[in-house]
Amino acid sequence: MKINKLFILVLLLIISKIGFCQSKLQYAKAKVSYVINIHFDKSKKIYEVYEKYRPGLVAEAESIASELDFSLILNDSISVFYLEKKLFSDNRAASFAIRKSGYYGRIKQQPHNYITEELQESFGEFLVSRPYHEWELQDETKVIGDYTCFKATTSYTTTNPKGKAFNHSFTAWYTPQLPYSFGPAGFGDLPGLIIELQSDDYTYGVKKIKFFDKEQKNKENEIPRLKRKKLITEEEFEKLAAEDEKRWRKD
């Protein structure tokens, strides 16, 4: 009798654990596929550095960028942006193109912030919570495919270890016809899905959108979870990165 009670207790614990895990799963309403073009300013000194390091690398990276497939899988409340796993014709050029695209790991977007996987850093692996950029909404519109898109712009400034400031400007074309406030590379918080995102370094554009049935709940539309790592703020991450760079320069 005791054995039966113990068996029932264990079974109930297993069932409750399975139910808890299943309740955490979220399923997508749509999957957006993005292609990317990367740009290099050949008038800048850094271009000469790239060519000296490996002649032809820039041209190879620009070419292989067409092989990069990015996906944004989403529902009404969250999305995850990621690079599809595949083999490349030139791994070194592909790695260079991926860095140029502003992608360093999967990105989860939610209503008030977005979280990036920072898993390649020498000072540790983290999830970093970042605020959305503030957009200026413009009246300008253009039609992209089947969607009427509205223009929005934003910018931010970074400073290198020598104190030199760099301005980074972005233009997004979003459509209220798809009322999802998400987009590629962590850009979002707009009144519609970002169909095209432009910067000095790259341009993301929607290739196709697949919509799922409301009843569908399987592996195909399961929203992936980020790795379980320590969650820190953007300020904490930048401080760790700066300290690591100081150690690197000292050595």
Q: How far apart are CA 183 and CA 125, in angstroms?
A: 24
Contacts of 104 (CB under 8 A, 6+ apart): 116, 117, 118, 120
Give the residue-averaged pLDDT of 141-155.
98
The two structure tokens encoding residue 161: 């270890």
H-run or E-run covering 12:
helix 2-24
Q: Which residue has the higher pLDDT, 8 or 49?
A: 49
Mean of all residue pLDDT scores within the chain? 87
What average pLDDT does this structure show over 199-228?
Answer: 95
> What 3-state class would DSSP assign to 190?
coil
Residue 92, helix vs strand vs coil: helix
Q: Evaluate whether 81 touches 33 at the Cβ level (below 8 Å).
A: no
The mean pLDDT value for 121-147 works out to 93
136-165 b/e (C-beta count within 10 Å ≥ 16 → b) = eeeeeeeeeeebebbbbebeeeeeeeeeee
Q: What percent of the chain has pLDDT over 90?
A: 59
Provide the pLDDT confidence category of residue 12 given band limits of 50, 70 and 90.
Answer: very low
Contacts of 101 (CB under 8 A, 6+ apart): 36, 38, 65, 68, 70, 185, 201, 202, 204
CA proximity to 221, closest of 109, 78, 102, 114: 78
User: How do the domains of the chain map onto residue ranges?
Assistant: 26-132+200-250
Q: Is it the case that residue 234 has pLDDT exceeding 70?
A: yes
Give me the pLDDT at residue 14, please: 43
CA-to-CA dists, residue 172 to 78, 126, 143, angstroms: 19, 28, 13
Residue type, 112: H
**β pairing state of 126-130 and 70-74:** unpaired
Q: Which residue has the higher pLDDT, 184 or 61?
A: 184
Other CB atoms within 10 A of residue 214 CB:
8
The string of pLDDT tens digits covering residues 30-84 is 999 999 999 887 777 777 878 887 888 888 999 999 999 999 999 999 999 999 9
Q: Which of 15-24, 131-140, 158-167 has the lowest mean pLDDT?
A: 15-24
Q: What average pLDDT does range 3-17 have in this prediction?
A: 45
Give per-residue pLDDT as tens, 85-117.
Answer: 988 888 889 998 998 998 989 999 999 999 999
CA dihedral of residues 174, 175, 178, 182 (deg, nearest 10): 10
Higher per-residue pLDDT: 9 or 214: 214
Model confidence band, residue 13 (pLDDT cutoffs 50, 70, 90)? very low
